[in-house]
Amino acid sequence: MLDIRNFIDGQFVPGSDGKAFDKRSPLNDKAIARVSEASRADVDRAVTAARAALEGPWRKLPVGDRAGLLLKVAGEMTRRHADFVDAEVADTGMPRVVANPMCARGAANFKTFAEVVKTVPTEFFETPTPDGRGALNYAIRRPVGVVGVVCPWNAPLLLMTWKVGPALACGNAVVVKPSEETPQTAALLAEVMNAAGVPKGVYNVVNGFGPNSTGEFLTTHPKVDAITFTGETRTGEAIMKAAAVGARPVSLEMGGKNAAIVFADADLEAAIEGTMRSAFSNTGQVCLGTERVYVERPLFEKFVATLKAAAEKLRVGPPSDPASRIGPLISREHQRKVLSYYAKAVEAGATVVTGGGVPEMPGDLAGGAWVQPTIWTGLPDDSAVCTEEIFGPCCHVFPFDAEAEVIERANATDYGLSAAVWTRDLARAHRVAAEIEAGIVWVNSWFLRDLRTAFGGSKHSGIGREGGVHSLEFYTELKNVCVKL
């Protein structure tokens, strides 16, 4: 069985109090790794190592050299792409067609921020003074310091590097807390950091759980200067409370209950293809995924029938089968949560268009966290299934009659992460995009990302924006220098 250790000050180390936990495969619920759990003392060592790195040569490294080092990290990740894919697939059970682009995004995250950090200008003002000689004001960026990075399990490498990339590009040192469900790629990245020559202490990994464990030890540690988090809204709230002590900045990327709006003039084929991806890819475990689909009434019946036919073609299976498109959920615990919503939908009177249960799986796969891709119609907008984030391969499809009505219904949620609008009417596309309360609105597409753009959520979906220069806003502090002439 794999032995996964913490990575502190450039070295792999077991938990100092000997605690460890099993990581189970989502395919069959069998243990595949033993993971060292970091104690409070281990977290303290990691934070101390990060602080020492900040005060050492890392601080002095010119930005061009730092960017060069991150390009080496990206190069090494690309060289070891197959290892990252294997690790991600083992932890999550996701099909390889899903893991491949996700792992490629890991290297892309380092490349992007290596470029961004070199090219962002800073502000400069010539300021008049009463004596007529004037003053020059300019701003310099300084790293915020030690950044605590708390990560989820649904796209482990992609989401971790989305934060570690810009944090290191800006000259910070990080202590990463991967999800207890997905420890492998953070450990592999540690090997990459050493191979690329990143100074010890710049990147540290502490494994464990959330409350009363590593996550809490990290986010309450007084020497952590800023915290960046991706995960559930309730966890984000707890982290924000922890960060309030010492008034430390947080960046929170949290849950969603995202809508797709399909107008009758939409390209049906494209809207179906986009909705299939947004509802079912990664077994529906995508924060930007669509769980509410509003279809204009003249297209409703046809849309539902076409979506059903497409969903029933999705192959549910293990990553060893190249035809698999739907893997298991992350864990048996998450399976229980998703199935509770499948039951609630039926109790609330939904029409189950397809799915709704657990597929029959052969051999030891029967012990895995499988669920069927599921589509419902017929529920009211305010039912639990239509308002709470399920995070499984499922969506509810509603008919609508008017543009103003659908905007109001799409916005009637506490979340505000993303939306997709499908129409051939350009003016309407812009109108609706402007009115939807979400951090990103896609028109005639889904998950088309440019890493230079602002990414984040409104309402309960997040605080702050990351991506391109917006990441620099979080991972640096601007210092104003005023020079009297």
Q: Could you say whether residue 146 binds ligand NAD (CB under 6 A)?
A: no
Q: Which of residues 364-393 bind ligand NAD (CB under 6 A)?
A: 389, 391
Q: Which residues make beta-bridge pairs with 484?
A: 135
CB of 252 to ligand NAD, least distance (A): 8
Of 355 and 464, nearer to ligand NAD (C-beta) is 464
Q: Taking CB under 6 A as the rule, does residue 106 contact ligand NAD?
A: no
- Rounded to the nearest whole angstrom, what is the least distance from the CB of residue 376 to ligand NAD in the complex? 20
Name the residue nearer to ligand NAD (CB basis): 59 or 234. 234
Residue 255 or 355 with smaller CB distance to ligand NAD: 255
Q: Which is nearer to ligand NAD, 151 or 385 (by Cβ)?
A: 151
Residue with smaller CB distance to ligand NAD, 109 or 423:
109
Q: Which of 47, 99, 151, 198 touches ligand NAD by CB under 6 A?
A: 151
**Amino acid residing at 472:** L
Report, in Å, the least distance between residue 64 CB and ligand NAD: 30
Quick check: 460 binds ligand NAD (CB under 6 A)? no
Q: Quick one: how far is CA 108 from the chain centroid?
A: 15
**Residue 338 CB, nearest approach to ligand NAD (Å):** 12
Q: Does 149 bind ligand NAD (CB under 6 A)?
A: no
Part of the chain binding ligand NAD (CB under 6 A), chosen from 14-22, 69-77, 116-124, 172-180: 172-180
Between 106 and 255, whose beta carbon lies closer to ligand NAD?
255
- CB burial class (10 A; 0-12, 13-18, 19+) of residue 403? middle
Distance of closest approach, residue 16 Cβ to ligand NAD, in angstroms: 19
Residue 37 binds to ligand NAD (criterion: CB under 6 A): no
Contact at 8 Å (CB) between 8 and 45? yes
Tokens of residue 450, six digits = 């440019």
Q: Which is nearer to ligand NAD, 151 or 205 (CB)?
A: 151
CA gap 259, 294 in Å, rounded: 7
Q: Which of residues 439-458 bind ligand NAD (CB under 6 A)?
A: 457
Residue 124 CB, nearest approach to ligand NAD (Å): 34
Nearest approach, Cβ of residue 55 and ligand NAD (Å)? 26
Q: Residue 293 or residue 429: which is nearer to ligand NAD going by CB?
A: 293
Q: Which of 76, 86, 253, 473 binds ligand NAD (CB under 6 A)?
A: 253
As a whole number of angstroms, the distance between CA 29 and CA 21 comes to: 14
Give the binding-site size for ligand NAD (rule: CB under 6 A): 32
Catalytic residues: 253, 287
Considering only 148-156, 199-207, 267-275, 366-374, which stretch makes contact with ligand NAD by CB under 6 A? 148-156
Residues 182-211 that bind ligand NAD (CB under 6 A): 209-211
- Which region among 28-36, 117-125, 174-182, 196-204 touches ligand NAD (by CB under 6 A)? 174-182
> Based on CB atoms, which residue is closest to ligand NAD, 68 or 249?
249
When binding is defined by CB under 6 A, the residue of 28, 109, 179, 377 that contacts ligand NAD is 179
Quick check: 463 binds ligand NAD (CB under 6 A)?
Answer: no
Smallest gap from Cβ 282 to ligand NAD, in A, equals 10
Rg (CA), the chain: 23
Note whether 256 binds ligand NAD by CB under 6 A. yes
Answer yes or no: are the C-beta atoms of 229 and 251 closer than 8 Å. yes
C-alpha distances (whole Å) from 469 to each of 117, 118, 166, 461, 473 are 8, 11, 9, 21, 7
User: What is the nearest approach in angstroms of ligand NAD to the Cβ of residue 241?
Assistant: 9
Query: Which residues of the chain form contacts with ligand NAD (CB under 6 A)?
Result: 150-154, 159, 177, 179-180, 209-211, 215-216, 219, 230-232, 235, 238-239, 253-256, 287, 389, 391, 417, 457, 461-462
